[in-house]
Structure 1
Amino acid sequence: MPPRRVITGRSQEPRQRFAEELRLLRAAKADSLRELGDKVGWDWSLFGKMENGHTLGSPEVVQALDQYYGTPGLLLALWELAMADPTQFKERYRRYMVLEAEAVSMWQYSPSILPGLLQTPGYARELLMEGGLKGDELDVQVEARMGRRDVLFKDEPLQFRAILSEAVLRTSLEDVEEWHAQLEHLDMMGHRLNVTLQVLPLAAGLHGLINTDTIFLRGPSGQTVAWVETGYSGELVQETAAVERLQLRYDRVRDLALTPDLSRQFIERMLEEAPCEPLT
């Protein structure tokens, strides 16, 4: 078998390292992609995409490969490292993902959908499906989004504030059980000491961030940057004056929002009103 590089949690290219290991192991077996698919019982084209770095596959696929290659846990460990790699996200999001992982505090205004850090798997799945993802790639992206939430639960968690337009909470999922689970999760998160949730009522009217998802991230050095996104584009804002102008707009939106206590009551009221079983 070809020699392998030392595997550590400090790898700078976890996604590429995972794909390389897959290629090396298959070469050692002298299998074609089609032969590998027949032997493992998965579509051979998926293995090709995984070896080219186009997808990471699901944990079930990776465990099947670990068993076939006789590498118990190795590929799954590399897969987990690759799942945390920002290069798995679309290129325009990668810089943001690095900043999010390093941030000590973050505050956000969401006009139409829940922030990724507050989404349940069911919410994320339905949202990503609406964006055109399906199959293994959908599973990978849902898992990646869930992995981002770890910053809220680590020993020194991210301090996170989110202002949610009432429209976010009025836009339910098709699956009423998943929507009920999402509201329960939101209620739970609103009781965490490091998370502050505020609801902006529709009656508040027009404001300076009416159609713009706006996120501020403060890094360990104290520098604050902003990420602004519409449905079609996203932009990282680093110039101090521009960030301050956005911050002023955000502060004005926060002044219009319900207090955290009233916002929790609003969410709990919606939870009581939401159906928890499919309508017949």
Structure 2
Amino acid sequence: MPPRSIVTGRSTDPRRRFAEELRLLRTQRGESLRQLGTALGWDASLFGKMERGQTIGGPEVAEALDQHYGTPGLLLALWELAAADPTQFKERYRRYTLLESEAASLCHYGVSTVHGLLQTEGYARALLTAGGISGDALTRQVDARIGRRDVLHAEGAAQFRTILSEAVLRTPLGDASEWRQQLEHLMAMGEQPNVTVQVVRYKVGLHALSNTDTMLLRLPGGPTVAWVETGYSGELVQESEPVERLQRAYDAVRDLALSPADSRKFINQTLEEVPCEPST
């Protein structure tokens, strides 16, 4: 006779299970959300959203909760399962954009598209439309993407380096005038003291980041984390060893790239190849 399985009645969905455990631990302790927020120094609304499954928060919140409840590693492990769930891309991306806004420096490598922080409105709209977004959702996402650019213009703005594959500059928009605006914007941004734009030519051949869009974020007084992305998913990398591997790969690609001055000349050459709109 096969052994009987133990049925706990708990959800097998990682995000729901995390929310259930949070709610159970708090009610067993007899705490209100407000008391929990006061004890840990976060707004009580965050814990309410976590218990309702609206957000999973960050790893630092899970670690603080583990310490508070005396459950070393349990909640952090459940958080990691929830964060790794393929259906939770939006949650991981929300976490990444928060870190992006806080970073002291950002180092990006782009395989085929301009990074969001350097996109014009026309480029962002065309890229999101190509991804199947339309209507009000398109307007909201374009506005959100353009709003993120403030990170590079605020007082004490982060240092930002972007290394673009030549493919980025060889993949124009359908609207030539919009494409010209994007190239001109790249050149203008490269003139800002906190922004460096470089290009990796096709002729350098394959390299360690040939198929990996990568962003390395150095956090103030803290570690460096990484965001790696495909067209359909993304992963926030926080463990030191894989982050160090990505940093070494990035440094190697930077050594292969054109200098900022030569990159500017190359972008300008590409701009000169864009057909002018016919006069009316």
Normalised by the size of structure 1, how large is the TM-score? 0.67
Match of 1:197 in 2: 197
1:208 aligns with 2:208: yes
Match of 1:160 in 2: 160
Provide runs of 4+ in structure 1 moved above 2 Å.
89-92
Match of 1:269 in 2: 269
1:105 aligns with 2:82: no
Q: What is the alpha-carbon distance in structure 2 between the residues aligned to residue 252 and residue 278 of structure 1?
A: 43
Offset of 1:136 from its aligned partner? 1.1
Question: SS of the counterpart of 1:123?
Answer: helix
Match of 2:179 in 1: 179
Match of 2:75 in 1: none
Which amino acid is 2:121 matched to? P
Match of 2:117 in 1: 117
8 Å contact 2:177–2:276 — kept in the other structure? Answer: yes
Show structure 1 runs of 5+ residues with no match: 1-10, 14-52, 54-88
Q: Percent identity?
A: 63
8 Å contact 1:109–1:250 — kept in the other structure? Answer: yes
Offset of 1:279 from its aligned partner? 10
Question: SS of the counterpart of 2:146?
Answer: helix
Question: SS of the counterpart of 1:163?
Answer: strand
Offset of 1:276 from its aligned partner? 3.2
Q: What is the alpha-carbon distance in structure 1 between the residues aligned to residue 102 and residue 92 of structure 2?
A: 18
Q: What is the alpha-carbon distance in structure 1 between the residues aligned to residue 168 and residue 188 of structure 2?
A: 17
8 Å contact 1:120–1:146 — kept in the other structure? Answer: yes
8 Å contact 1:104–1:220 — kept in the other structure? Answer: yes
Q: Which has the larger radius of gyration?
A: 2
Match of 2:150 in 1: 150
1:228 aligns with 2:228: yes
CA deviations on 1:86-124 (whole Å, 9 max, x unpaired) are xxx932311101100111100000011000000000000
8 Å contact 1:225–1:243 — kept in the other structure? Answer: yes
8 Å contact 2:92–2:236 — kept in the other structure? Answer: no
8 Å contact 2:104–2:220 — kept in the other structure? Answer: yes
8 Å contact 1:162–1:198 — kept in the other structure? Answer: yes
8 Å contact 1:177–1:278 — kept in the other structure? Answer: no
Q: What is the alpha-carbon distance in structure 1 between the residues aligned to residue 261 and residue 44 of structure 2?
A: 43
Which amino acid is 1:259 matched to? S
What is the count of residue pairs matched by the alignment?
199
Which amino acid is 1:195 matched to? V
Offset of 1:140 from its aligned partner? 0.6
Question: SS of the counterpart of 1:133?
Answer: coil
Question: SS of the counterpart of 2:268?
Answer: helix
Match of 2:138 in 1: 138
Match of 1:241 in 2: 241
Q: Structure 2 vs 1, CA of residues 279 and 126 (structure 1 numbering), >3 Å: closer, same or farther? A: farther
8 Å contact 1:123–1:179 — kept in the other structure? Answer: yes
